[in-house]
Structure 1
Amino acid sequence: MIQLVKRIAGAAVALLVLAATPAMAAAEPEYTVGATATGVPFTFLDVKSNSIQGLLVDAITATGKAAGFDVKVEQTTFSALIPSLTTKKIDVISAAMLKTPAREQVVDFSDTVYSYGEGLIVRADDKGKYTSMDDLKGEVVGAQVGTAFVDALNKKGIFKEVRTYDSVADIMRDVALGRIKAGFGDHPIIAYQLQKNPNPQLRLVDGYQPSVKGQLCFVVRKGDNATLEKLNAGIRKIKADGTLTQIIKKWQVE
């Protein structure tokens, strides 16, 4: 009888301990985040660690820390980001994907993380003064597949041809080789790549005024309000405490 009472008392104590420490049983949620390997300095494959690094990786990690969730970053090609999201292979997109009305019909965007427009790259020996897309009327130009820049160029309807590429590096190669007259891409990405790896055959056109001025946000499935609210809460915190400003400074895209 005494042993039975002891066992009952021990079980009661154990239940009280568990009830008093619910945080121990509640693990933080983990979101699978899709990012590209070709968007330096926003997202890129670091060959030393064989992991995706960059401004937007730091930003989503900091956002998760502030909002109470973990992240697992997976490499995904840019054109496959939205299909991977809508088919639930990933939970969040953190990549250089500008917010556009067309995309807003398919997915939901968080508060703004960073803003910029397109840059124009031409051969270094091309002395033309280009201030807008219109200045390249009748030429063969290029942009990265799946970007808002391709849509803007095609909508213009003034070019001899608009070629699409898998990466900014591919665009830069074809501009240098003279296969296309000019290339359009994310201004911070082009500027960063030319800063880190100068190419005497290319120049980023000063004075060019971007036509597509956009916002970089985290992206979630349409109607996934729970994830969106967590992301926005985290973004507000890292903006308020200066964490996001420090991340932007770290990646030299101010």
Structure 2
Amino acid sequence: MIHLVKRCAATLAAIAVAVITLAPASAVAAPTYTVGATATGVPFTFLDVKTNSIEGLMVDAITATGKAAGFDVTIQQTTFSALIPSLTTKKIDIVSAAMLKTPAREQVVDFSDTVYSYGEGLVVRADDKGRYASMDDLKGEVVGAQVGTAFVDALNKKGIFKEVRTYDSVSDILRDVALGRIKAGFGDHPIIAYQLQKNPNPQLRLVAEYQPSVKGQVCFVVRKGDTGTLEKLNAGIRKIKADGSLSEIVKKWQVE
């Protein structure tokens, strides 16, 4: 009887050890980060009305990065101008949108390695036959750009325009250019090109000869000093660049 009790005790002890050994592996789940993205940045981030979810290049990129780096994401719809405030107040953990890396923003937040690079595009009315190779060619005119973007800062810094109007979205800019409310609109070149390709507007033209003055990198954005999240993001970016996943995402959204 004593031997049986000892044997049972030994068995229970062995099971306990096994459970303790296995518990950490089974209990550790992949972290989930809340990612802020806009609903108006086609094709980088936009609201798919069929699924009522945010989709786009930067959504696919952060999802692929998370898979490669071992974390999950939850996408939260946020207006562009509210992205950094939402990040700094911890309403979101990461920004994944068509947000260019700038010195001013670097003072407030930290940027990951580059995901995609581009500059601004210029759109005018189709019946406007002027040649516009730079911002300077629109001196004295009323122009527009999306609020919170680096393009607004660049236009205001020029100080040569009659007025610089700000808009919530590229679609709003295109509307006012078509209606003649502003002379020209500036915005993310891939976004303008994509929108005009998918929804042609005979009243508008994307100026082919225009040379962007704000060239930059689109990156994931984290709170200042959040090195842990930043390291995970950069590790994931390196992996999806190396295995070709990022190139496939860029091709999928037709912005190469």
TM-score (norm 2): 0.96
**Correspondent of 1:22 among 3, 21, 24:** 24
SS of the residue 2:36 aligns to: strand
SS of the residue 1:164 aligns to: strand
Q: CA separation in 2, counterparts of 1:253 and 1:21? A: 46
Mapped pair 1:73 → 2:105: no
SS of the residue 1:95 aligns to: coil
Tell me the equivalent position of 1:138.
140
RMSD: 1.3
How far the C-alpha of 1:236 sits from its partner, in A, is 0.2
Q: CA separation in 2, counterparts of 1:65 and 1:7? A: 43
> 2:140 is aligned with what amino acid?
G
Tell me the equivalent position of 1:125.
127
Please give the per-residue CA displacement for 1:213-240, whole angstroms capped at 9, x wherever unaligned: 0100000000000000000000000000
Please give the residue correspondences for 1:1-254 in structure 2 after superposition, counting only pairs within 5 Å.
2=4, 6=8, 9-20=11-22, 22-254=24-256
How far the C-alpha of 1:25 sits from its partner, in A, is 1.3
Structure 1: unaligned runs, 5 residues or longer: none
Q: CA separation in 1, counterparts of 2:83 and 2:193? A: 24
Q: CA separation in 2, counterparts of 1:186 and 1:27? A: 38
SS of the residue 1:184 aligns to: strand
Q: Percent identity?
A: 83
Q: CA separation in 2, counterparts of 1:39 and 1:4? A: 69
How far the C-alpha of 1:11 sits from its partner, in A, is 4.9
How far the C-alpha of 1:16 sits from its partner, in A, is 1.5
SS of the residue 1:129 aligns to: coil
> 1:118 is aligned with what amino acid?
E
Equivalent pairs, count: 254
Q: CA separation in 2, counterparts of 1:72 and 1:174? A: 34
Q: CA separation in 2, counterparts of 1:253 and 1:111? A: 19
Q: CA separation in 1, counterparts of 2:10 and 2:204? A: 79
Structure 2: unaligned runs, 5 residues or longer: none
> 2:166 is aligned with what amino acid?
T
SS of the residue 2:62 aligns to: helix
> 1:206 is aligned with what amino acid?
A
Q: CA separation in 2, counterparts of 1:50 and 1:223? A: 33
Q: CA separation in 2, counterparts of 1:4 and 1:167? A: 74
How far the C-alpha of 1:24 sits from its partner, in A, is 1.4
> 2:239 is aligned with what amino acid?
K
Q: CA separation in 1, counterparts of 2:24 and 2:51? A: 36
Spell out structure 1 runs of 4+ moving beyond 4 A.
1-5
Please give the per-residue CA displacement for 1:59-98, whole angstroms capped at 9, x wherever unaligned: 0000000000000000000000000000000000000110
Q: CA separation in 1, counterparts of 2:55 and 2:43? A: 8
SS of the residue 2:160 aligns to: coil
How far the C-alpha of 1:6 sits from its partner, in A, is 2.6
SS of the residue 1:97 aligns to: coil
